[in-house]
Amino acid sequence: MSVCIVGWSHTPFGRLDLDFEQLVTTATSDAISHAGIDAAAIDGVWLGHLNGGLIPEIFCSSLPSQGNPGLRWKPATRVENACASGAAAIASACDAIEAGRARIALVVGAEKMTAVSGQMVTDILARASYYRDEGAHGLTFPGIFAKLVDAYGRQYGDPSDAMARIAAKNHANGTRNPYAHMRKDVGFDFCNTVSAANPLIHPGLRKTDCSLVSDGAAALILVDAALAKDFDRAIAFRARAHVNDLLPIAKRNILGFEGPRRAWTQALSAARCSVRDLSFAEIHDCFTIAELLTYEAMGLTEPGRGSRALLDGTVYPDGALPINASGGLKAKGHPIGATGVSMHVLAAMQLTGSAGEMQITGANLGAVFNMGGMAVANYVNILEHVQ
């Protein structure tokens, strides 16, 4: 144990009237207040943010200081690693603390996605692929993840039923999350049926199989574990793992989900626990096929048997290992830079018994998996309540 979370904040996710700066400053001031510290005590600021054209500003690392004048003169860095930008910002702050370069850090994750057209969002996100061979030839991220659906179907059988169960589960969970973009239980039959309200976004992917385009922000206060006793609460990083795979999908066995699998193996080994020891997990369900493959990558089921975790109830809120009790990206929303930080805030809430209607009974050990690209940048952190 070397780094602890001692404070946090979370804005609502959705189509918000707040601009990017307001999202950042709100999350900043609320996290500092929650931790009960003076901003002057913070040694560094890390901002997780994709942008890529979603907002006009390209230089935003100092925006958190607009939320508290005590942050002026503090070193601040913007961190970008596609959809894992939030987890990358957390990892950078943890590295600085573990290296002795900082004792208290502020991490903010934020994104404003709805100020541009849906087509522009799709085009911008496509640039997070191996663009010369993928995005430049019209391959969007729905198209990339549809390749997973096709490959899974050819090797193991059609996963669409399992994907619909994941969508329905996460939408039902989202009704209990006050921060969620979509708080509506749409049911399995709706998710499993192509209709005018649930059209195909790409062959193999229905609208309910795709995460939401959202605005939002979240923030964390991290401290050296030696300082944790001075705070009202402390959630420790029991283990951290970061694994990057090759960028081109043509050079990988995409169905193997090898990057996530390695990250999970490393994190669980470092935490000296098995996946069955976890109380819950927040995982990256940018598309429902990603959640299904993560069940297999994390060792919850054998390859090709991910549906069993749904059919036997394991991943539901009252199951042996609840997955995405928050509603996940599917219902909570997916403001790119905010996602990884949001996952850690929600995990911290679970571990302190402050998750409200989302609360998992007896939660004492949780995992977070945040993924950039199609299984390219993979972060798995194991968290536990120590105070």
Annotated catalytic sites, by residue?
83, 334
For residue 128, the 8-state DSSP code is T
Tokens of 168: 């329905």
Cα–Cα distance measured from residue 157 to residue 338, given in angstroms and rounded to the nearest whole number: 34
Torsion of CA 245, 281, 167, 201, to 10 degrees: -20
For residue 72, the 8-state DSSP code is T
Cβ–Cβ < 8 Å for 145, 334? no
Cα–Cα distance measured from residue 317 to residue 163, given in angstroms and rounded to the nearest whole number: 17
Strand partners, 216: 111
Helices (H), ranges, 175-326: 188-191, 258-271, 288-297, 307-311
Cβ–Cβ < 8 Å for 359, 353? yes
Q: Which contiguous run of DSSP H or E holds residue 78?
A: strand 76-79
Cβ–Cβ < 8 Å for 316, 188? no
> What are the distances in angstroms from CA 39 to CA 86, 202, 236, 260?
21, 47, 21, 36
Cα–Cα distance measured from residue 147 to residue 152, given in angstroms and rounded to the nearest whole number: 8
